[in-house]
Amino acid sequence: MLQVINNLKKVIYCISDINTALAFEWIADKIDAQKIKLVFILINSDRNSTLAQFLIKKKIKHYHLSFKTNWSYLGLIWKTYKILKQENAQAIHCHLLKANIIGLTAAYINRIPIRIYTRHHSDFNYVYSKKGILIDKYCNKIATKIIAISKVVEDILLHKEKVPFQKVQIIHHGFDLNYFKSPSSRILDKLKAQYNPLHKSPVIGVISRFTEYKGLQYTIPAFHKLLETHPNALLLLFNAKGDYSQVIDPLLEQLPRNSYLKIGFENNLSEIYRLFDCFVHIPNSYYSEAFGQVYVEALICGIPSVFTISGIAPTLVKNEINSLVVDYNSVDGTYKSMCRILEQEELREHLINNCKNTDYFEFSLERYIFNLENLYH
């Protein structure tokens, strides 16, 4: 049981390398302030970031810590230790690599009784970073609770990393369902004018960093084939940057220049999805995604989609019912499924209606906040 101070339970949110995240804004805004007092530690976050400005507006106390080199870990652990001591924190909840190492270590030294981290990746380190496996195991050891955001992540923690089952709890990401179901027509018109001024059609949508496991190296050739039968098609790629650009960019350069558009971050998520006639998200394997928020978002928005099964998809995605599922790494399967969605009106309506009639309460913000509040007690 957490120590109660002035009837409040103080929980420190330690987050690294995040400037904009609706999820943290929703948590800060919706969590019961009569029960839980949140204080944020932002590591490697711009002081003028969207998240920082939100916290200022809401008068939520927060600290900024800067990470420069690997030697910064020791200094930031010490600074975080002092913040935890000063705030008399009873719990810490960490998100992402640097925050996990720094926040959990400082809390462990400080003997904070509840040390939580949310695991935002599944088998990434087994594929791409062997050193990362050691870091994961270290964090697993000193945490008192680990949030698995999907069954996929739980499987990795329990069966591959042998974490005691009592340490692991599945809590899915939460979404403001009304936000995604009620787009602004004004914002939508603005985005159409900005990203599709020539009124090209059909529009294929992707929201994904340029990272190998996201499957863009198969999506783009599939779109290239689509242009043969739909020469006026447009490919919109959001979050279009990442460590796989050296492969993705040459593929895009093979397309007609006016057939695609690379876009950085766009904050109006609900309206983005309404730009698309078909949405595509085809990660390379079952374990590629730890969660994959775009699965949930696209379905809530009722956008006909082509998916592979990864992350949260086994819980939510149903082939031929609310989306079309293709094999991993399949250009031809992706192309054919896009064609079906674009050309078969009855199928489109079937997918859209089933998306709209699905109960998404399990992924609602209310459910998420309820689970968090119980976690901190």
Q: List pLDDT tens digits, range 295-323.
A: 999 999 999 999 999 999 999 999 999 99
Query: 177-359: what CATH class?
Result: alpha beta
- Domains in the chain: boundaries: 9-174+363-376, 177-359
Q: What is the pLDDT of residue 309?
A: 98
What residue type is 44 in one-letter code?
N
pLDDT at 5 over 80: no
pLDDT at residue 294, rounded to an integer: 98
For the CA atoms of the chain, what is the radius of gyration? 22
The yes-or-no verdict on residue 4 having pLDDT over 50 is no
Amino acid at 154: E
7, pLDDT greater than 70? no
Distances in whole angstroms, Cα of residue 188 to Cα of each of 84, 196, 274, 348, 370: 43, 11, 7, 21, 32
Mean pLDDT of the chain: 94
Phi, psi of 146 (to 5 degrees): -125, 125
| Each residue's pLDDT tens digit, 229-283 | 999 999 999 999 999 999 999 999 999 999 999 999 898 999 999 999 999 999 9
Asked whether the predicted pLDDT for residue 103 surpasses 90, the reply is yes
**Tokens encoding 318:** 């149903």
Q: Which of 374, 71, 122, 50 is nearest to 15 (CA)?
A: 50
pLDDT at residue number 265 = 87
pLDDT digits (tens, 9 = 90+) for 128-138: 988 999 999 99
Q: Is residue 339 very low, low, confident or very high in pLDDT (cuts 50, 70, 90)?
A: very high
- Transcribe 301-336 into DSSP letters: TT--EEE---TTHHHH--BTTTBEE--TT-HHHHHH
Rounded Cα gap, residues 140 and 146, in angstroms: 7
Residue type, 212: E
**pLDDT at 3 > cutoff 50:** no
pLDDT at residue 170 greater than cutoff 50: yes
Local confidence band at 2 (pLDDT 50, 70, 90 cut-offs): very low
Q: Quick: pLDDT tens for 192-240.
A: 999 999 999 999 999 999 999 999 999 999 999 999 999 999 999 999 9
Q: Is residue 371's pLDDT more than 60?
A: yes
Nearest Cα residue to 23 out of 180, 179, 175: 175
Question: What percentage of the chain carries pLDDT values higher than 90?
Answer: 91
Q: Which helix (H) or strand (E) holds 167?
A: none
User: Same CATH topology for 9-174+363-376 and 177-359?
Assistant: yes
What integer is the mean pLDDT of 93-118?
97
- DSSP strand E in 129-269: where? 145-148, 168-170, 203-207, 234-238, 260-262
Secondary-structure class of domain 9-174+363-376 per CATH: alpha beta
The residues near 288 (Cβ < 8 Å, ≥ 6 apart) are 122, 213, 214, 215, 310, 311
Please report the beta strands in the chain, taking only residues with DSSP state E, as ranges in sequence order: 9-16, 36-43, 62-65, 91-95, 114-119, 145-148, 168-170, 203-207, 234-238, 260-262, 278-281, 305-307, 324-325
Task: Quote the Cα angle for 20-113-365, to 5°.
Answer: 35
Residue 31 contacts residue 111 (beta carbons within 8 Å): no
The pair phi, psi for residue 215, each rounded to 5°, is 85, 15
pLDDT at 349 over 90: yes
Q: Does residue 372 have a pLDDT over 80?
A: yes
